[in-house]
Structure 1
């Protein structure tokens, strides 16, 4: 599996999604499990407030145990709600121990290895390995990672810090937000406690834990929150991400970014790469990830996600020559929203509602801000004639392919 690249519109830097291939196995010394401090309930949706005692060590705090009861299964997630003065809400590395943070969180981060089948010339097939990281969400084995870590995988293996390995089932994956949820058959795992990323400030402590290079599981790096709501474009999808200077490397994708209280505040998903570029890592804020995680656990997909039902390409008047100021419909999905509205292959998208379209990311951003059932007006150029077509957006039920608008295959465009 190859690293993916994304562009930072502000600096024209290259962002590399942290995934690594050709991993090596290793032996680990098991660490004693921390006592669990929540009981799993099995009835309707339950929200209970509990006080965590010695299990949280010096951190302390109040949690919400939130049970999700969906068609895909049940999971109890843990979320911090404590705002007491004992919490290190704005702590920096000068007044909090990184060792304490690591000790409280390392058991919640897992290694992920994948296998996928790649077809080469003359129809020869090969097994391609990949690696990433994940964060345990529940005691019974729900795990969050990045979509790009498991995309296309035929086999997913999760290894906990104790050294135990499990074959994982993909519960749901969402390419638009680069999130996925896995499930392993295990008990008494140590779930991460979800923090509140809206309370972060620039300069707050940030600790990243993951599996860099696919062979260094449990690696801890520390730094600060460098920026909030940094706009980064990943696979033509604009995302608002946390920026950190904690060291992020290929293989860290899907791992955890924790605050000074040991709470999960972000899912690591990208780093910046280039000559003399260091200290630029990015993570999906946990507050934005929660709704996606809940949807994936309960439904297997993001319910209500809008779908236009097209594959797009940046092109010129000759259609396949690249021009980032022109966006064409490369393919229309049969029975999809665009097909029902009468859009056709080769249509150049000029405007959606009142917004001019100059890049594929303009389209994906607009569609992602709508819900299934919403209507939009698309102005297209077809055979030298301008047409305005009203489209009722459909629902993207298969979130492995749920991009509002996808890129054309690489062999058909020059991006």
Structure 2
């Protein structure tokens, strides 16, 4: 084992592997075919029981995944067992016994403190050998996860994270894995801002998979909330203290629609009081976004929520389930479609908007539906994607990307 903070000869570096993935993404504009294949590289690491962890975006739309150990020239086939879109984590397995000879899985550590040293290990672009970069923890808060369009706990660091580092571990000075590198913040006004998925999110993903045999997702409360910083608004709602968040909208398909109403004020979640800024206590001296507490729960858990309704305090119990979007951010597998008399119908999705929106004003307007809640289970926005010209649809050939 290497000295504390010195990883040059550390044995656990051998648990970090390089990922080679061939991707074949669907063509959302022509949903019966696929786009041209492309390849990418990333990083992963061993966690024991014949499994590896990497980022979900590293193996998105995978056709073939291979991994290679440090100092080895053999690539081994890997299988994707689960992909967590919201948390950007994927679980891989490698069946070859030869791959695991002498392998030592990494040990997970606790959430670090601010200014703790952190070392990111992986295989970024620019070379074939393992890369080690060092920095410090600069911030810990609920962070936007770009791949999943979600918000979960994240660790901000100032160590360099480059393409190819994704999926690699971040270590503390004791050689414990404190998270998974997954994204960077790019701006002309900022540099060296990288993000790490903390072990609490990783553990949630692994426990979810262990419980259900598949990934079910991070649950949500099923409501749209508003801060209650304005004293006049708190007085109008009969909220006596400087706490609580206002329920602006309730998702019709969620269990919350049965027990929560618009205009309710949520003042507690479990035994934790919710502040008027939508924050809750975190560790000893910090506060963090209220949604952090919800993300600690699992699909199907029942949460006790304290509310003020028309000036009266009461407690309700809400069954937590993953959020359902009217316009899905991701589509697992192939997009669905229907062709009738040459008219091509397909559900509106975020990938389709990204493909077609740039030069299509109508689809730009429909893109507003990204932020809408479904009114009933299974609701979709179906669009006429295009018209395949034939004698049955003469006069309609110019129609495209219009809501059905």
Q: Shorter-chain-normalised TM-score: which range? A: 0.5 to 0.7
After TM superposition, give the deviation of residue 216 of structure 1 in Å: 4.0
After TM superposition, give the deviation of residue 268 of structure 1 in Å: 0.6
Partner of 1:157: 66
Report the 3-state secondary structure (helix = DSSP H, G, I; strand = E; otherwise coil) of the residue aligned with 1:117.
coil
2:78 to 147, 153, 168: 168
**Cα distance in 1 between the residues matched to 2:153 and 2:133:** 21
1:207–1:221 CA contact under 8 A, matched in 2: yes
Report the 3-state secondary structure (helix = DSSP H, G, I; strand = E; otherwise coil) of the residue aligned with 1:194.
coil
Report the 3-state secondary structure (helix = DSSP H, G, I; strand = E; otherwise coil) of the residue aligned with 2:203.
helix
Partner of 2:303: 374
TM-score (norm 2): 0.56
Change in 2 beyond 3 A, CA 1:270/1:223: same
**Cα distance in 1 between the residues matched to 2:264 and 2:128:** 47
Residue-by-residue CA offset, 1:34-84 (whole Å, 9 max, x unaligned): xxxxxxxxxxxxxxxxxxxxxx3x45xxxxxxxxxxxxxxxxxxxxxxxxx
Residue-by-residue CA offset, 1:271-299 (whole Å, 9 max, x unaligned): 11111532111112235423432442564
Change in 2 beyond 3 A, CA 1:352/1:186: farther
**Cα distance in 2 between the residues matched to 1:197 and 1:342:** 36
Q: Which runs of 5+ in 2 are unaligned?
A: 225-245, 268-273, 279-288, 309-315, 329-348, 354-365, 371-404
Matched, 1:239 2:152: yes
1:195–1:265 CA contact under 8 A, matched in 2: yes
1:169–1:184 CA contact under 8 A, matched in 2: yes
Aligned counterparts, 1:125-274, within 5 A: 125-129=34-38, 130-138=40-48, 141-161=50-70, 162-187=72-97, 188-189=100-101, 190-198=103-111, 200=113, 202-204=115-117, 206-213=118-125, 216-234=127-145, 235-274=148-187
**Cα distance in 2 between the residues matched to 1:307 and 1:238:** 11
1:254–1:267 CA contact under 8 A, matched in 2: yes
Q: Which runs of 5+ in 1 are unaligned?
A: 1-55, 60-87, 313-324, 380-389, 396-401
1:373–1:394 CA contact under 8 A, matched in 2: yes
**Cα distance in 2 between the residues matched to 1:227 and 1:293:** 26
After TM superposition, give the deviation of residue 185 of structure 1 in Å: 0.7
Partner of 2:236: none
Change in 2 beyond 3 A, CA 1:353/1:108: same
After TM superposition, give the deviation of residue 146 of structure 1 in Å: 1.9
After TM superposition, give the deviation of residue 200 of structure 1 in Å: 4.9
Change in 2 beyond 3 A, CA 1:269/1:353: same
Partner of 1:413: 367
2:12–2:106 CA contact under 8 A, matched in 1: no
Higher relative contact order (CA 8 A, sep 6+): 1
Partner of 2:231: none
Change in 2 beyond 3 A, CA 1:281/1:304: closer
**Cα distance in 2 between the residues matched to 1:275 and 1:291:** 35
1:171–1:297 CA contact under 8 A, matched in 2: no
Report the 3-state secondary structure (helix = DSSP H, G, I; strand = E; otherwise coil) of the residue aligned with 2:209.
helix
TM-score (norm 1): 0.54
1:173–1:300 CA contact under 8 A, matched in 2: no
Change in 2 beyond 3 A, CA 1:368/1:241: closer
Matched, 1:115 2:38: no
- Structure label with greater radius of gyration: 2
Aligned-CA RMSD value = 4.4
